[in-house]
Amino acid sequence: MSYNNYNILVTGGAGFIGSNFIRYLFEKVNFDGIIVNFDLLTYAGNLKNLEDISEKYSGKNYFFEHGDICDKKRVGEIFDKYDINMVVHFAAESHVDRSILGPEEFVRTNVQGTFTLLEAARTYWLNNNGKSDKAKLTFNIHNSSLTKRFHHISTDEVYGSLGDMGYFYETTPYDPRSPYSASKAASDHLVRAYYHTYNLPVTISNCSNNYGPYHFPEKLIPLMILNMLDEKPLPVYGDGKNIRDWLYVEDHCSAVWKILTEGEVGETYNIGGENEWENIKLVNRLCEIVANKMGKDKDYYKKLITFVKDRPGHDRRYAINCDKIKNKLGWKQSVDFEKGLEKTVDWYLNNKEWVETVKSGEYKKWVEMNYDKR
């Protein structure tokens, strides 16, 4: 299959999931179209995440463009320059703790940035006034026509917090509870509004917690692995019984690709691991995996576990029902959690240079100012 008619704008492609997605397309899908990685390179964006891809494909199938999704002029220029016919929108402020400490940037990037991208797509793809001319929304690829697509990456956190029972469905009413999830919810609403109002060909996915290579070390799994290696405390919030549903990042990427190529315009798809873990159980298991790799006693790192003050408004449990994408698009998870954790720990052990670069910059100052006070 050739995709050489696809000119995809990937926003936030230098971040954790965005960079995994770009790698997935080149390495697993044999993508032969054009990918434009548009990224502001905030503290979370890192071109090292794609060094190998850039060496192989830069100037041919891969282009990096530095810029801000809130910058209307710059975003418009990118659509023009590359004749963009698909958008996969990852760029966001993504960390809940940071949204509690400083919500403004979340509203700017996640809400204003998404709005700016939607407007650029509407301007470039559609007749500006009123509803779209449907003919303008298709382009031909090997005798079959495909609509233009704006795929918005969102989170299960928009649905709020679950008790012991139940799941998040695509029909679950929104109930975001942190500035992060509220800003993502607002962006989801805007994306849907552009579909209903302007016929912009959108799809949305709401995914559970990802883990895997290139995960920024402010997030639970990499934070714990790297703190173990530094023999630093392993801070567990509250009673440690909050539950998250973990998915290996490459499985998220394969789901996004499925939706982009086979999903129905206007639809929302939940993506999840069907893999719920209490934080404390997960941290204990990670301690054992790292101990095994480091030739230590099984319980060696567990003594570092420290219960700290809870995250304000900490959502208790997330659990995704992803029957829709499984049944309608034939997607399924492929990486078993135990194997995924092993792969992740190995990746951090084998990529010390990446770890040192990430840990030594702006992030180091932020940890000292915020996290080390806990």
Active site residues per annotation:
156-157, 180
Pairing label, strands 62-66, 34-39: parallel
- The yes or no reply on residue 255 touching ligand NAD (CB under 6 A) is no
- The yes or no reply on residue 16 touching ligand NAD (CB under 6 A) is yes
Q: Which residue is nearest to ligand DAU (CB)?
A: 155
Extract the tokens encoding 153. Answer: 């990456």
Cα distance between residue 271 and residue 269, in whole Å = 6
Cα distance between residue 234 and residue 171, in whole Å = 37
- The yes or no reply on residue 155 touching ligand DAU (CB under 6 A) is yes
Cα distance between residue 280 and residue 284, in whole Å = 6
Extract the tokens encoding 67. Answer: 């810029």
Binding mask 114-153 for ligand NAD (x = CB under 6 A): ---------------------------------------x
DSSP code for 371: I
Q: Do the Cβ atoms of 187 and 114 come closer than 8 Å?
A: yes
Among the candidate windows 10-18, 131-139, 170-178, 308-316, which touches ligand NAD by CB under 6 A?
Answer: 10-18
- The yes or no reply on residue 191 touching ligand DAU (CB under 6 A) is no
Which of 40/289 has CB closer to ligand NAD? 40
Among the candidate windows 22-30, 67-75, 169-177, 315-323, which touches ligand NAD by CB under 6 A?
Answer: 67-75
- The yes or no reply on residue 213 touching ligand NAD (CB under 6 A) is no
- The one among 6, 34, 68, 227 contacting ligand NAD by CB under 6 A: 68
Contacting ligand NAD within 24-43 (CB under 6 A)? 39-42
Dihedral (Cα; 102, 103, 109, 111), 10-degree rounding = 180
For ligand NAD (CB under 6 A), the number of binding residues is 29
- The yes or no reply on residue 119 touching ligand DAU (CB under 6 A) is no
- The yes or no reply on residue 96 touching ligand DAU (CB under 6 A) is yes
Cα distance between residue 81 and residue 60, in whole Å = 14
Among the candidate windows 85-93, 129-137, 294-302, 337-345, which touches ligand NAD by CB under 6 A?
Answer: 85-93
DSSP secondary structure, 120-138, as one string = HHHHHHS-SSSS--GGGGE
Contacting ligand DAU within 335-364 (CB under 6 A)? none
How far apart, in Å, are the Cα atoms of 228 and each of 45, 286, 287?
Answer: 24, 9, 8
Cα distance between residue 191 and residue 116, in whole Å = 11
Which of 61/112 has CB closer to ligand NAD? 112
- The one among 34, 50, 92, 260 contacting ligand NAD by CB under 6 A: 92
- The one among 156, 170, 251, 274 contacting ligand DAU by CB under 6 A: 156
Cα distance between residue 198 and residue 195, in whole Å = 6
Among the candidate windows 21-29, 47-55, 142-150, 237-245, which touches ligand DAU by CB under 6 A?
Answer: 237-245
- The yes or no reply on residue 279 touching ligand DAU (CB under 6 A) is yes
Minimum CB distance to ligand NAD, residue 5 (Å):
25
Phi, psi of 306 (to 5 degrees): -130, 120
Coil vs helix vs strand at 287: helix
- The yes or no reply on residue 269 touching ligand NAD (CB under 6 A) is no
How far, in whole angstroms, is CA 266 from its chain's centroid? 20
Q: Which residue is nearest to ligand NAD (CB)?
A: 15
φ/ψ region of 66 (left if φ > 0, alpha if ψ in -120 to 50, else beta) reads beta
Q: Do the Cβ atoms of 14 and 50 come closer than 8 Å?
A: yes
Minimum CB distance to ligand DAU, residue 285 (Å):
14
Minimum CB distance to ligand NAD, residue 43 (Å):
8
* Degrees to nearest 5, angle at CA 251 with 250 and 257: 90
Q: Do the Cβ atoms of 111 and 35 come closer than 8 Å?
A: no
Number of H helices, E strands in the chain: 14, 14
Q: Write out the residues near ligand NAD by the rule CB under 6 A.
A: 11-12, 14-18, 39-42, 44-45, 68-70, 90-92, 94, 109, 113, 153, 155, 184, 207, 209-210, 216
Q: Which positions touch ligand DAU (CB under 6 A)? A: 94-96, 155-157, 208-209, 219-220, 223, 235-237, 242, 244, 279, 311, 318
